[in-house]
Amino acid sequence: MSASLRDHPVPALLAPGAATALMEAYRPATDRFLASPRHTLLGRGSAAGIPHGTSPLAHRVRDVLDALRRPDAPPPVVMGSLPFAPDAPPALAVPDMVHWAPPLREDPLVALPVPRDEHRPDWRVREVPSPERYGEAVAAAVARMRAGEFDKVVLARTLELASSREPDLSAMLRRLARRDPHGYSFAVPSGPGRTLVGASPELLVSRRGGLLTANPLAGSAPRSTDLAEDVRRAAALLESPKDLHEHAVVVTAVREALAPFCTRLEVPPRPTLVRTAALWHLSTTVTGELRDPDVTALDLASALHPTPAVCGTPTDVARAVIAASEPFDRGPYTGMVGWQDADGDGEWVVTIRCAEAEGRTLRLFAGAGVVAESTPEAETAETAAKFRTFLHAVGADL
């Protein structure tokens, strides 16, 4: 396995263009690509998979990684995705080789445009559910929340894209990563014949030695191409009672999940803003010091998943509402994607702003947090704004 830049700097990989070179080298089906504000990783081949089972996933991952440790070699790394459903099989593997580079955001070549695709697919688009049905589901959930049954649910919808030719997933990844190089871009196998591609803005949790970081996002507003209007929308989001409440619910859940693992946990009292190409988000960066050095990044991620930002609260009630309201299986959407090494360090990202490719089809996902103050019109518009990032990347702007 190739050396990690964290412990074994490789001068050739520090040259300008190293991160984009790994992105250009990505090949679907066999490779796993992950880019974060800290690292760019390309995994090739598969030395071992993570089995499905009833024991905790973090334990199964630790057992496989420990078995692959070798003296005088960097710790082995697992990469891949985990589904939303806790009992569904993971799509995780230890690559034969992992190449590391600095983050994409520090690579000057990431600003270069992706060459225009002269043979892009002729997409046929189907909305599942329709905007009308989605609005009805939002209205029904709001009525139940106002009656005191639960506090929040995240309801999603999909766009099913079909074409006469297979999409160019490598070009799709490059467009997504170049559109938001400060975020988390990924392309990993998600099952037999399926590939998960996306660019998420949300870090679920990272661990580096005895330190952890989580960055929950909840509450959002569409960007505007007009600078003054864009600033107005950002300022309004920071003062929105509905969005601040939605965000506070998520931050409280993150604090409660992480506190037992920490000797110190710092949670800012008010959110700040982060932006993507399409949206403003309310953001809180949570940091802490671990009580037990054996707690891994995946231990922490498993304790957090699913947060109210992708499911709702109370969790069991929200899951039941999702199952009754969404006419599709989420699969990897709102699960997590990332990496972890045998020392327990790693980064796990919330799987949003993504699509799953299978043959000549793509399924895009987008969701909105529904609280008692929500309206069907606003939540439908929010999902439409979230779809735009991916529609642009696949050349299917509607």
Residues with a catalytic annotation lie at 152, 202
Distance CA 121, CA 246 (A): 38
DSSP state of 338: E
Whether 277 contacts 288, CB under 8 Å:
no
- Quote the crossing angle between the two packed helices 131-146 and 376-394, to the nearest 10°: 140
- The one-letter code for the residue type at 91 is A
Contacts of 231 (CB under 8 A, 6+ apart): none
Surface-to-core class of residue 29, CB atoms within 10 Å of its CB (0-12 exposed, 13-18 middle, 19+ buried): exposed
Residue 341: φ, ψ to 5°: -100, 175
> Angle at Cα 331 formed by Cα 123 and Cα 92, nearest 5°?
110
Other CB atoms within a 10 A radius of the CB of residue 146 amount to 11
Cα–Cα dist 350/204, whole Å: 6
Helices (H), 11-80: 18-25, 57-68
Q: Is there a contact between 195 and 202 (Cβ–Cβ < 8 Å)? A: no
Cα 246 to Cα 236: distance, rounded to the nearest angstrom: 15
Give the separation between CA 220 and CA 198, rounded to whole angstroms: 18
**Residue 371 and residue 152 in contact, taking contact as beta carbons nearer than 8 Å:** yes
Specify which residues 81 forms β-bridges with. 91, 337
395: left (phi over 0), alpha (psi -120 to 50) or beta: left
